[in-house]
A and B are shown apart, each in its own frame.
Chain A
């Protein structure tokens, strides 16, 4: 139990001292997770909305698949992308393996189903309400999809936050495709995994507290932003 008190102390000291290695790790973590979530949102939001509005044979199957992929094991994603991005693999010539780019790609693949599945449900519910009015005004299904996405933006913000949570917390995928290389692909979660494997539990826990603080800050900022938007646009 003394590890907890030690860890608090470690976390406080690391943050206060602005340890350059820690700063580098924090910035890389933010860069990877935020980029991954950005890409995942750009792909997942329209995908979810179009799936909500479209009707075609096999649609239910795709919905079930998408929902299931929300829980896709990160370590398998890591393995799959390693095989794809390896020099011996089909996309080896891209030279992405062991770079932050590979980590972004792998995390994007994990986060897109989360955002898409949640978006689909939100937009489908909204479509039930809005359908007649939008049809009456002459909106095409495509146009309606974007209208609904914009109207649901506050709820969708939470879906994107869920995606960010997944991205910033996972380690299984990025440790395989990134290689946990010091100064290059070492993020908070992979650093925590490393320190744990070295038996330095207080440092690992301390880094964990720093990561949690980071996550809280991001969520807090998002909540503030959404409340401001809500007041402005109702």
Chain B
């Protein structure tokens, strides 16, 4: 009886340990990125090209921007690839990240019900649109999850001079979830929300939603990539992580980014500019 017990215990531990051991001899990096980037399908398109060129596998952990930065801070990722410039600069200033480069941008759009109760359709000014939505007390869904999208949304409210905490009762709804879940909710109850174009283009549950505002330069969504500081976390795979960053900002990577399309539409616009020395 005890013998069987011991064998089973050993088998269980073997199954677990197998995972840990395997890591050491595989060539891969862990990149913390966002759910919206993952959901746009960019990585499925982009990463095979990188792996083909370098033989390095890229493992994407897709979470909210806040969580992605946390992973970098704690050394659980080698590279952080998100889209919240302010948060990224703070990350570098705090010493958690090094060698930040701007890689590409996509844009945010405001989506809402086709019936458009706040009459914002066609407005080129995002801040103006937000003012109209608040005035009409039309239902607005916020991601409320410290993501890049959420940060952009809060900046727009701030610029519109609206305090959603004070004046949002009844119409401002905080879903505390990712882009897809928030869009699901917006489609379900007919509300407005701020979304990134990438997620929207590949989102299949639109229901009655449509783009109501787009094109404002304020809705510019800049992506940045950083290496997690190896002096803080010696286990960071510096050589391979840097290879990824280099490839993303080299012509090969930049062209591949531009080549990603959904329904013929380009999603991301490469904009890396080497520092002029």
The interface of chain A, by Cβ under 8 A from chain B, is 31, 35, 38-39, 41-42, 46, 86-89, 92, 94-102, 104-105, 108, 146, 150, 179-182, 184, 194, 196-201
Within 8 Å of chain A (Cβ to Cβ): is B60? yes
Complex Cα distance, B9 from A226, in Å, reads 22
Chain A residues with CB below 8 A from B74, complex form = 86-89
Which residue of A38, A105, A201 is within 8 Å of B205 (Cβ)?
A: A201
Contacts of B180 in A (CB 8 A): 196-199
Which of B11-19, B116-124, B154-162, B215-223 lies on the face that meets chain A? B11-19
What 7 A-B pairs are tightest by C-beta distance, nearest first? A101-B19, A197-B180, A39-B12, A87-B75, A179-B61, A199-B205, A88-B74
User: How many A-B contacts are there with CB distance less than 8 Å?
Assistant: 110
Tell me whether B90 is interfacial, beta carbon within 8 Å: no
B20 within 8 A of A: yes
Question: Shortest beta-carbon distance, B113 to chain A, in Å?
Answer: 16
Is B266 in the interface zone, CB < 8 Å from A? no
Would A42 and B178 count as touching, CB distance under 8 A? no
What residues on A are CB-neighbors of B178 within 8 Å?
197
Known: A38-B8, A87-B76, A179-B30. 12 other contacts (CB 8 A): A88-B73, A146-B1, A179-B63, A180-B61, A181-B59, A181-B61, A182-B60, A184-B59, A194-B39, A199-B180, A199-B203, A199-B206
- Bound complex: CA A41 to CA B12 (Å): 10
* A102 vs B15: C-alpha distance when bound (angstroms): 11
Q: Is B115 an interface residue (CB 8 A)?
A: no
Of A89, A105, A198, the most chain B CB neighbours within 10 A belong to A198
Inter-subunit contact A39/B13 (CB<8 Å): yes
Most chain A Cβ neighbours within 10 Å, of B1, B16, B30, B202: B16
Count of chain B residues near A, Cβ 8 A: 47
Known: A39-B13, A146-B1, A199-B183. A95 touches B24 (CB 8 A): yes
Q: Is the CB of A197 within 8 A of B39?
A: yes
A89 to B70, CA, bound (A): 13
5 A-B interface contacts by CB (under 8 A):
A41-B8, A88-B233, A99-B22, A146-B1, A199-B184
Q: Give chain B's interface residues, CB within 8 Å of chain A.
A: 1-2, 5, 8-9, 11-13, 15-20, 22-24, 30, 35, 38-39, 44, 59-63, 73-76, 177-181, 183-184, 187, 199, 202-206, 233, 235
Knowing A42-B9, A99-B20, say if A180 contacts B62 (CB, 8 Å): yes
Residues in B whose Cβ lies below 8 Å from that of A146: 1-2
Distance between Cα atoms of A33 and B90 in the complex (Å): 40
- A86 engages B76 (CB within 8 Å): yes
State which of A88, A101, A150 has its C-beta within 8 Å of the C-beta of B20. Answer: A101
- Measured CB to CB, the closest approach of chain B to A214, in angstroms, equals 18
CB < 8 Å neighbour of B23 from A31, A39, A95, A200? A95
Chain A nearest Cβ from B56, distance in angstroms: 14
Provide the residues of chain B in CB contact with A200, threshold 8 Å.
204-205
**B24: A residues at CB distance < 8 A:** 95
Cα A96 to Cα B203 in complex, Å, equals 33
- Asked if B15 contacts A104 (CB within 8 A), the reply is yes
Closest Cβ of chain B to A39, distance in Å, is 4
A179–B31 CA distance with the chains assembled, in angstroms: 11
Q: Is B76 within 8 A of A98, CB to CB?
A: yes
> Is B235 touching A87 in the complex (CB atoms < 8 A)?
yes
Partner of A42, one of B8, B18, B184, B187: B8
Contact A96:B61 (CB < 8 A) given known A42-B8, A198-B202: no
Name A36's closest neighbour in chain B (CB-CB): B12
Question: Across the interface, do A96 and B20 meet the contact criterion of CB distance under 8 Å?
Answer: yes
Which A residues touch B205, using CB under 8 A? 199-201
Residues in chain B near residue A95, CB distance under 8 A: 20, 23-24
User: Bound state CA distance, A29 and B16, in angstroms?
Assistant: 14
- B76 neighbours in A (Cβ, 8 Å): 86-88, 97-98
Q: Are A31 and B59 in contact (CB under 8 A)?
A: no
For B39, give its contact among A100, A179, A184, A198 (CB under 8 Å): A198
Which residues of chain A are within 8 angstroms of B9 by Cβ–Cβ distance? 39, 42
How far, in angstroms, from A33 to B159 measured CA to CA in the complex?
49
